[in-house]
Structure 1
Amino acid sequence: MMKITYVIGIFLCLIVSPILSQSSTAYFKKIQKSYTNAQEPLVMIAAHRGAHLEEPENSLAALQKTISLGVDIMELDVRFTKDRKMVLMHDKKVDRTTNGKGLVSDFTFEEIRKLRLKHLDQITNEQIPTLEEVFQLAKGKVLIDLDIKDDATIDSIMALVDRMKMEKNCFFFVYEPEEIKMLQKRNKNYQIMIRTENEEGVKKLVASGAKPQAVHIDPSHYTPEVVQAIKNIPARVWINALGAVDFKASQQPAAFEEVLKWGVNMIQTDQPAKLKEYLKGQGKYR
């Protein structure tokens, strides 16, 4: 009986796995299409440092949770170790998020892998992941927002994106129109988001002729005119719900309207599950 059950289990896995894979691929193609469609009415969701309410931030577990939630993007932070290995870490130091102390740049890769990530101040079994490990898990499933904390990593990041053919599976987060042109000169298929700090920054971007797929705006220039100017590039408009909006939305999801009211179509949040549920209820999510 046990042998029969085992055989049936293997048979079901062989049938179900390709179906799930096809479903995942089809869903990711919708994510890719949305990212390059600035006029689409649907809103895209970015999980800040991954879906980290239940898992350590910037971890493979947070990435897997992001994928499982079925949202569009995982935002992450890239730094070099002492021996120039690309790992995920927001802070310059490992103190807040691991059981270690010191600068990321003072650890060799072998040393930093011995550390364990914390969640809610509790030590977990999660290691600090490499960018390559993240790409392997994310490929064909979710977009990766590359928040580059150390400019020295940019050449290595580009080389890894090229080698793993991740051009349409990630996007670079930059601050100047000249950086957009530099990246797209290197590879015309690179996808890019630029941050503007004020309305003048938006005007400078438009005048430059640079063509990012998305523009991150700050509270200083939350206006309908700015949002429309960005959509005319054409590019998607990214806004953060981090902090006060997320806190209020954790209790009352309608608080997300505080950022949605500007007409933006990308939202970064620490509450991706709640935002997805709210957007679906408003007919603004796939």
Structure 2
Amino acid sequence: MKIILLAAAALSLAATAAHAAPTHRSTGEIMAQIRDPHGRLIVVAHRGCHEPAPLHGFGAAPENSVQALEKCAAMGVDMMETDVRESKDGYLVIMHDETVDRTTTGTGKVADLTLAQIKSLRLRQDEGGSDAAATDQFVLTLDEMLALAKDRITLNLDVKDAIYPQVIAAVRKAGAQNRVTLKTRVGVGSQPLAPMAPYDEVPFLVIPKDGDDSGKSIPDMIAAQMSGKIKPVGIELPYRLPREALPAIVKRAQSLGVRLWVNMLDGNFVLGAGSDRDALRAPDAVWGSLVREGVSMLLTDEPEAMLAMRDASGRR
């Protein structure tokens, strides 16, 4: 059913746009667009392009895999969101969960496994699970992911452990400072983080933690985080934000010249705005509506359909 919805949604927008080969852009060009608050919609693939992309002839791929990145690059996705953890022996590996159980053929906590043990596993198809087929894809290290993405796609590194200095050191070693973004949460009392070491070495996003869940404090948090000499390139809106809070947030973000990022995965980030599944039925009514309201970075599990919507609408 998902594939049928995806194909129908994309075809109703523009089959020719979806089938056209993407124009190659350097990662520097993509980052320049991300830094431009008035630029086009930035499509961010959640753990890579793991869902089928039927208009391009692509099947599913394991999340956070070589295949997931290859598909994203071939389709012209702007950014791949991916996850970083630390192995028992201090290596940085690409893994979302605390354990390898869901996504691989193995079991156990990442922090209890050596790199050799992790490398002996195989990733399971798509989002994994015990019923998902094992593939020939393996768990990547951060170094491997950075090398794979070079000159092809930018990365958003979701750092899962207390390893920001190690991650940023790896980014510097790879010469990838201008083709990755990092992020972390901030509160009402947080000092501006983007100018602080080590965050000042990479493009940085912040996620406001809304104390009373009304969203009313977020405009002031954005202003505080934008007050430093080095400014974040984006603000990721928090989980379960009331949609009625969005206009004031957009107004403050636009006045300060910073992009807003929304996760579209399950409909529980901007409440009432819809989910990826809703968008497969009505892309412009869901994704397009948020873009018109002032959101300009969308994290999605359905990047092919989102790209088709963006390109068909002329928001290039």
TM range (shorter): 0.7 to 0.9
Within a 5 Å distance, the mapping from 1:169-184 to structure 2 comes to 169-176=179-186, 177-178=190-191, 180-181=193-194, 183=196
Conserved? CA contact 1:45–1:267, under 8 Å: yes
Shift, 1:164, TM fit:
1.2
Within a 5 Å distance, the mapping from 1:20-39 to structure 2 comes to 24=24, 26-39=25-38
Shift, 1:204, TM fit:
2.5
Paired-residue identity, %: 29
Conserved? CA contact 1:95–1:101, under 8 Å: yes
Conserved? CA contact 2:222–2:253, under 8 Å: no
1:154 to 134, 157, 164: 164
Shift, 1:217, TM fit:
1.1
The equivalent residue for 2:9 is none
1:256 to 275, 287, 291: 287
- TM-score (normalizing by structure 2): 0.77
Q: Distance in 2 between matches of 1:178 and 1:65?
A: 39
Q: Distance in 2 between matches of 1:187 and 1:86?
A: 18
Q: Distance in 1 between matches of 2:122 and 2:310?
A: 35
CA distances 1:196-245 after superposition (whole Å, capped 9, x unpaired): 23331331231351420100113425412201211222211101111242
2:178 to 168, 187, 193: 168
CA distances 1:118-137 after superposition (whole Å, capped 9, x unpaired): 01511001110001101001
Conserved? CA contact 1:241–1:259, under 8 Å: no
Q: Distance in 2 between matches of 1:56 and 1:157?
A: 23
Q: Which amino acid counterpart does residue 45 of structure 1 have in structure 2?
A: V
The equivalent residue for 2:270 is none
Give secondary structure in 2 for the equivalent of 1:172: strand
Conserved? CA contact 1:63–1:74, under 8 Å: yes
Conserved? CA contact 1:238–1:264, under 8 Å: yes
Q: Distance in 2 between matches of 1:130 and 1:179?
A: 30
CA distances 1:33-69 after superposition (whole Å, capped 9, x unpaired): 11110122x1000000001111101112111111111
Shift, 1:187, TM fit:
6.8
Q: Distance in 1 between matches of 2:165 and 2:140?
A: 19
Shift, 1:94, TM fit:
0.8
Give secondary structure in 2 for the equivalent of 1:232: helix
The equivalent residue for 2:206 is 194
Shift, 1:260, TM fit:
2.8
2:47 to 46, 49, 64: 49
Give secondary structure in 1 for the equivalent of 2:207: strand
Q: Distance in 2 between matches of 1:269 and 1:29?
A: 22
**Structure 2 CA distance for partners of 1:88 and 1:168, relative to 1, 3 Å:** same
The equivalent residue for 2:125 is 119
Query: Is 26-35 or 160-169 further displaced after alignment?
Result: 26-35
Give secondary structure in 2 for the equivalent of 1:238: strand
Give secondary structure in 1 for the equivalent of 2:205: strand
Conserved? CA contact 2:219–2:248, under 8 Å: no
Shift, 1:117, TM fit:
0.5
Query: Is 31-40 or 242-251 further displaced after alignment?
Result: 242-251
Structure 2, gaps ≥5 residues long? 1-22, 52-59, 127-131, 210-214, 268-274
Give secondary structure in 2 for the equivalent of 1:194: strand
If you compute each CA radius of gyration, which structure gives the higher value, 1 or 2?
Answer: 1
Conserved? CA contact 1:167–1:189, under 8 Å: yes
**Structure 2 CA distance for partners of 1:97 and 1:186, relative to 1, 3 Å:** closer
Structure 1, gaps ≥5 residues long? 1-22
Give secondary structure in 1 for the equivalent of 2:260: strand
Shift, 1:174, TM fit:
1.2
Shift, 1:74, TM fit:
0.3
How many residues align structurally?
259
Within a 5 Å distance, the mapping from 1:1-286 to structure 2 comes to 24=24, 26-40=25-39, 42-53=40-51, 54-120=60-126, 121-151=132-162, 153-176=163-186, 177-178=190-191, 180-181=193-194, 183=196, 185-186=197-198, 188-197=200-209, 198-208=215-225, 209-210=227-228, 211-218=231-238, 219-220=240-241, 222=243, 223-244=246-267, 245-254=275-284, 255-284=286-315, 286=316
Query: Is 84-93 or 212-221 further displaced after alignment?
Result: 212-221
